[in-house]
Each structure stands twice: as C-alpha cells, then as structure tokens.
Chain A
Amino acid sequence: MNLTFKSLKSLVLGSLFSFGIFNTNLLTANADFTALTPCKDSPAFTKRLNSSVKKLENRLKLYTPDSKEAKALEKEINATKARFDRYGNENLLCGKEGLPRIIASGQWDRSNEFVIPGILFLYITGWIGWVGRKYLRYASTTDNAFENEIIINVPVAIGIMNSGFLWPIDAWKEFTSGDLLASDDDVTVSPR
C-alpha cells in the first residue's frame, strides 16, 4: 500500500475521531471474575505463604543463630512475609491455586496492574528511541557521519538524551509538520 504523508495523517486523525464518536455511549466493561478471589481472602494463597515460610524455617534450623547464613535466611523469611502481605493489600485477585492474576482488561479500577505500567513502559522506550533517532539525525549532518555513528560524540549525546522527556509532544509536532516521515520519493522501491 502506497501511503503518502497526507493519507496517513488523515487515517490517524480519522480513526481517532471515529473511536471517540463511537465509544462515548459505552459503559466501562467491568468483568465479573467469579472464578477469582481476592488474594488476602484466598486460603490457597495463605497456604503458599505458610509453606514457603515453613521451608525457610526448616533451613534456618540447620544453622547456629546469629550466623551469617541464619541472618540471610531470616531476611528472606521477612521478605517473603512482606511480599505476600503487599500482594494481599494491593487488592489482587488469585486463582484457586493461590497465585495472583494481572487483570489486563483496561478497567480503570485495576489500572495499576496493566494500564499504568504499560503507559510507563511506552514512555520509557519512546524516550530511548526518540533520542536515538535525534542523535542519528544530528550525526548525519556532521562532516563524518559514519564515524560519528560508531565513535559517539558523548557531550552532544548526553545533551540529546536529557532532552527526551517531552518526546510525545516533539513527536506530535514533527508528525503534524511533516518532518516525522520521509516522503515517498526518498524511499527506494524494487523495480516493478
């Protein structure tokens, strides 16, 4: 498909517009999760905690108290109890085997499980990609572009890395001004 910048822009804006129009009347879908129980009320979850702590306590008996190994095991017992405590307090849902589930449906009351980490991931990887592209575009303007791609100009690179925190705005500005995408004339195509 031969996409020009103008058709791509209208495709993106058109799909955003129609998504907004056709989704305003929908209620948020909150699935029932009858097969899952809150982890703090789940007997299987508590059983897992008790068996993990029991195993560590059995190992602890093999060492003299106050030894390095005993202290490390006590630290691990505390960390295990803290982990199960935190998973229980964070209102996670567990299956009948006692393991927590991430609900990735996008519902807002469980947004901390998938939506927020997902957005954070996209922001971080977008930052990395955007500043990498910016450095490459800078390198292509230098006298020796090839060398600047393998022997990095560190002061310039650090400056560019620090400027990446507003990358969604920069990317949108470049998209609307036509600078984000190369024109079709610059893209080589195999002979037809």
Chain B
Amino acid sequence: MNDFLKYLSTAPVLMTAWLSITSAFIMFINFVYPDPLVFPTI
C-alpha cells in the first residue's frame, strides 16, 4: 500500500491528477458563468 501511495505521489501521476482537477474546475466555471470578457461590474 505504501509503495502504491508513493507511486501516486510521483510527479507525472500528480501532474495528471492536478491538471485534470484544474481543467474540470475551469470548465465548470465556464459552464456556470459562460462567455466572460471583462470582470463583472457590481
């Protein structure tokens, strides 16, 4: 188990996971607030 967790902590695995999370987050923000051009004025 420890070896498996160590494998998951390697740079390529973490980068894949982290960039997947980041891109999913950005896609979600664009789904909820589409077509942003400028910072919204309140």
Is B truly associated with A?
Answer: yes
Interface residues of A (CB under 8 A from B): 79, 82-83, 86-87, 90-92, 100, 102, 112-113, 116-117, 120, 149-154
* Secondary structure dominating the interface of B: loop
With both beta carbons as reference points, the residue of chain B lying nearest to A89 in the complex is identified as: B41
Could you tell me if A102 and B34 are in contact, using CB atoms closer than 8 angstroms? Answer: no
A79-B34, A83-B34 given as contacts; is B9 within 8 A of A154 (CB)? Answer: yes
B14 contacts the other chain (Cβ, under 8 Å)?
A: yes
B11 contacts the other chain (Cβ, under 8 Å)?
A: yes
Q: How far is the CB of B20 from chain A (nearest CB, A)?
A: 16
| Option from B10, B38, B39, B40 in Cβ contact (under 8 Å) with A150 | B10
Interface residues of B (CB under 8 A from A): 6, 9-11, 14, 34-35, 37-41
- Cα separation A117 to B38 with both chains bound (whole Å): 8
Q: Which residues of B contact A154 (CB under 8 A)?
A: 9, 14
Q: Which 5 A-B pairs have the closest CB atoms?
A: A112-B39, A83-B35, A116-B39, A113-B38, A150-B11
- Cα separation A150 to B6 with both chains bound (whole Å): 11
| Option from B9, B35, B37, B39 in Cβ contact (under 8 Å) with A153 | B9
Interface centre among B9, B11, B34, B40 (most CB of A within 10 A): B9
